[in-house]
Structure 1
Amino acid sequence: MKTITDNLSRVARDAGTAIMKVRSEGFNIDRKDDSSPVTAADLASNEVISRHLAAMYPDIPVLSEEGAKIPYSERSRWKEFFLVDPLDGTKEFIKDNGEFCVCIALMRNNRPVLGVVYAPTQDTLYTGSTETGAFVSRKGSAPEKISTRKPEDNEGLIVVGSRSHPSPDLAVYLEKLNVAEMTPAGSAIKFCLVAEGKAHLYPRFNPTMEWDTAAGQAIVEAAGGTMTSLDGSEFPYNKENLRNAGFIVKA
């Protein structure tokens, strides 16, 4: 797992460089069929990731946000594949608040077993697998091991939530809890805040897509946390419809 983690880390960094190049040069905003925004940065990152993965792992298929039109009859037979969000947090990228990232997950038997999340504006790389544990590298430093942190007795919860997708259901859910702090954040960085012990809880009620969550889930679980569906069941992947229902991430 270490070798593939190192390889995917380099791919994510290269993709981040491509994103930052577009960011510095300026870009137009287009719309996909579902009306979600897409920019040249999404496409540039996807091209870098697709090219590298095809060269490194030609036998492992790739399911990416920018290449998702693969028939279910084909991908349902996959035992192993990469699940990729080339630019997670496109809305944050457009707002230029820095809260966007590159997400690459290795999936086996429809479970995320390895995840890489790279935040290029912070030059911060999170990695995690159940075999090796979870790590963070800041500004090129040597990776440091990270782990989730459960709240102490009577300690109020630090909750992280979506900056661009608030939900009335979230407010209702949090009313029942002892919340000390609610921290908004964009993209899969929310998973990483739980993984490194900066937040205790990330509840999500609004829909996401499978590529939004896989890498983050792998890192959270490698760090000792959990991610389940709202009813506590195992969170499903490689569904016929790639849209996710809600979930709960816990330290």
Structure 2
Amino acid sequence: MSPLLQLMVDAALEAGREVEAIYGAGCAAELKRDGSPVTEADRRAEAIILARLRAAYPDIPVLAEEEACEGCSPDVGSRFFCVDPLDGTKGFIERNGEFTVNIAFIEAGEPVAGVVYAPDSRLLYYGARGEGAFRARGRAPPEPIRTRPRPGHGLTAIGSRNHHVQGTEEANARLGIAEYLPSGSSLKFCLLAEGSADVYPRYGRTMEWDTAAGQAVLEAAGGRVMALEGGKEAGPLRYGKVAEGFENPHFIAWAR
């Protein structure tokens, strides 16, 4: 494992331990300016990750969700870290276990390394371009993961448990989706990466920190994530979209 990816894994695991401790004790939620929830776990996990990344790579900017939501977005340039300290805050509040710590490294608009850690299940996914993708649970040794070939018919789709968009059923039918598996947080990308499903279409609003780490893991496992324009694929989903406020277009993630 490269030193960069090892740092990201260590930071995610440390932040995850803090998230899980707060999850066990319980905490109140507040609403941010955009109406989404935030908890002490979000803030403390982000502080841990920022401290580690900035100590090791002081010259590389970090785009982190909670700082960005407070109006503190760096000049990201061509290389930056992208951090969501607690993706799936609603799942955290509802105590369904579907929340993750996410760290990605972006280079020239592409997520080239990523880590997704689910503290409640002790499930770690990580991957990088040229290094492959891996999954580890608890103290078990990591195992390589790979996306599965697309079936001839009857795709299995992953979709959001909490974000339903009108017209989704019609769009999914056009894709040939036969089975739909709901899931929360960035784990949706990881289910594709490990070969549990074929496609994840997303027609609702997401931000770069919601998708960067999951996309990096999926692409390292053999998948791809395509931006959508007018319902059609318009090239890979890219990062550093300062003019758009780091908001993503609609997208579709494919296992192959």
Normalising TM by the smaller chain, what interval?
over 0.9
Match of 1:33 in 2: 33
Q: Is the 8 A contact 1:188 1:213 kept in 2?
A: yes
Q: Deviations over 1:121-176 (max 9, x none)?
A: 1101101111101111111221111111123334x211000000012232111122
Contact 1:149 1:200 in 2 (8 A): yes
Instruction: Tell me, yes or no, if the aligned pair for 1:82 and 1:105 is still in contact at 8 Å.
Output: yes
**Aligned-partner Cα distance in 2 for 1:237–1:193:** 22
Work out the CA distance in 1 between the residues paired with 2:24 and 2:129: 37
**What is aligned with 2:164?**
166
Structure 2 segments unaligned to the other structure (5+ residues): none
Name 2:254's counterpart in structure 1.
250
2:82 aligns with: 83
Give the structure 2 partner of residue 238 of structure 1: 240
Q: Which residue of 1 aligns with 2:16?
A: 16
- 1:219 alignment partner AA: V
- Checking the alignment, whether the CA contact within 8 Å between 2:43 and 2:66 is kept in structure 1 is yes
Question: 2-side partners of 1:35 and 1:26: how far apart?
Answer: 21
How many residues get paired?
A: 247
Amino acid across the alignment from 1:5 = L
**TM-score, length-normalised on structure 2?**
0.93
| Equivalent in the alignment of 1:149 | 148
In structure 2, what residue type is equivalent to 1:48? Answer: I
- Bigger Cα displacement from structure 2, 118-127 vs 170-179: 170-179
**Aligned position for 2:107:** 108
TM-score (norm 1): 0.94
**1:120 — aligned with what?**
119
Q: Deviations over 1:105-127 (max 9, x none)?
A: 00111211100000011101101
**Segments ≥4 residues shifted beyond 4 Å:** none
SS at structure 2 position matched to 1:103 = strand
SS, match of residue 85 in structure 1? strand
1:203 has 2:205 as partner: no
- The CA distance in 2 between the partners of 1:88 and 1:139, in whole Å, is 20
Alignment RMSD, CA only? 1.3
Please state how far the C-alpha of 1:178 moved relative to its aligned partner: 3.2
Letter in 2 for 1:165: H
Partner amino acid, structure 1, of 2:113:
L
* Kept in 1: contact 2:224–2:236 (CA 8 A): no
